[in-house]
Amino acid sequence: MTCVREGEVRAYLDDELPLATHEEIARHLSQCAACRARLEGIERTATHIRQRLAATLPVIEPNAQWGLARIRAQVQQDIVRPNIFRRLSMGNRNRVWRPILAGVVVLALLVGAFSFAPTRAFARQLLSVFRVRRFAVIEVNPNEASLEEVGRTLQEKLFKYEPQVIVDEPVQEVTSIEEARAAAGFEVRLPSYLPFTDTVKFAVKGRTEYAFRFDREGLTTLLQLAGMDPDQVPAGFTEGTVNAAASAMAYICQGKLEIVQVLDPVVDYPEGIVPRVIGEAGLRILGVSAADARRISESIDWTNTLLLPVPTNVAEFREVSVAGEQGVLLVPRQAAGGEEGAVLLWRKGEVIYTIAGPVSVNVLLEVAESMF
Amino acid sequence: MSDKRSASESTQKASIQSGHMNAEAILLEGARAGQEAAFEALFEQYYRRIYAVLYRLVGDEADDLAQEVFLKLYYCPPQRAESKLAAWLYRVATNLGYNALRARKRWEIRRDALGAEAHGADWQGEAPSPEAWAERQEERHHVRATLAQLKKREAILLVLRYSDLSYRQIADVLGVAPGSVGTLLARAERAFERAYGYIAERDRHSGGER
According to the model, what pLDDT value does residue A269 have? 60
Q: Are residues A249 and A183 in the same domain?
A: yes
Domain range for A96: 74-369
pLDDT surpassing 80 at residue A116 = no
pTM of the entire predicted model:
0.51
Residue B150 has pLDDT above 90, yes or no: yes
Same domain for A326 and A247: yes
Residues A41 and A81 in one domain: no
Contact B162 A50 (CB under 8 A): yes
- Distance from the Cα of A188 to chain B's closest Cα (Å) equals 23
Identify whether residues A111 and A220 lie together within a single domain: yes
The answer to whether residue A63 sits within a structural domain is no
In this structure, the answer to whether residues A209 and A243 fall within a common structural domain is yes
Chain B touched by A347 (CB under 8 Å):
no
Instruction: Dump pLDDT digits (tens) for A62-103.
Output: 888 888 888 877 776 555 443 333 443 343 333 333 333 444
**From A49, A93, A201, residue closest to B162, measured CB to CB:** A49
Q: For residue B73, give how far its alpha carbon lies from the nearest alpha carbon of chain A (Å).
A: 10
- Residue range A279-330, pLDDT digits in tens: 788 788 877 888 888 888 888 766 667 676 666 666 677 888 998 888 888 7
Residue A365 maps to a domain: yes
Do both A140 and A206 map to the same domain? Answer: yes
Domain ranges of chain B: 2-205
Tell me which chain A residues have a C-beta less than 8 angstroms from the C-beta of B107. 149, 152
DSSP string, B22-71: HHHHHHHHHHHTT-HHHHHHHHHHHHHHHHHHHHHHHGGGHHHHHHHHHH
Cβ contact (<8 Å) for B143 and A52? Answer: yes
Instruction: Summarize pLDDT for A186-233 with one digit per residue, the tens.
Output: 999 999 999 888 888 888 877 877 777 788 888 888 888 888 888 888
Task: Kindly report, residue by residue over B56-90, the tens digit of the pLDDT.
Answer: 998 888 888 898 899 888 877 786 655 588 999 99
Mean predicted lDDT score pLDDT of chain A: 74
Mean pLDDT of A236-256: 79
Report how many domains make up chain A: 2
Which residues of chain A make contact with B82, given a CB cutoff of 8 A? 337
Shared-domain flag, residues A78 and A50: no
Examine the domain organization and report whether A256 and A352 are in the same domain. yes
Do A236 and A340 lie in a common domain? yes
Looking at the fold, whether A87 and A182 belong to one and the same domain comes out as: yes
Q: Are residues A331 and A360 in the same domain?
A: yes
Read off the pLDDT of residues A257-271 as tens digits, 9 standing for 90 and up: 878 888 777 766 666
Please tell me the distance in Å from B67's CA to the nearest CA on chain A: 7
pLDDT at A209: 77
Q: Is residue A62 part of a domain?
A: no
Q: Do residue B182 and residue A46 have CB atoms under 8 angstroms apart? A: no
Does the model's ipTM exceed the 0.95 cut? no
Are A111 and A23 found together in one domain? no
Confidence of residue B174 (pLDDT cuts 50, 70, 90): very high
Alpha carbon of B1: minimum distance to chain A alpha carbons (Å): 7
Question: Could you say which of A7, A42, A64 has the minimum Cβ distance to residue B48?
Answer: A64
Cβ contact B34–A201 (<8 Å):
yes
pLDDT tops 90 at residue B189: yes
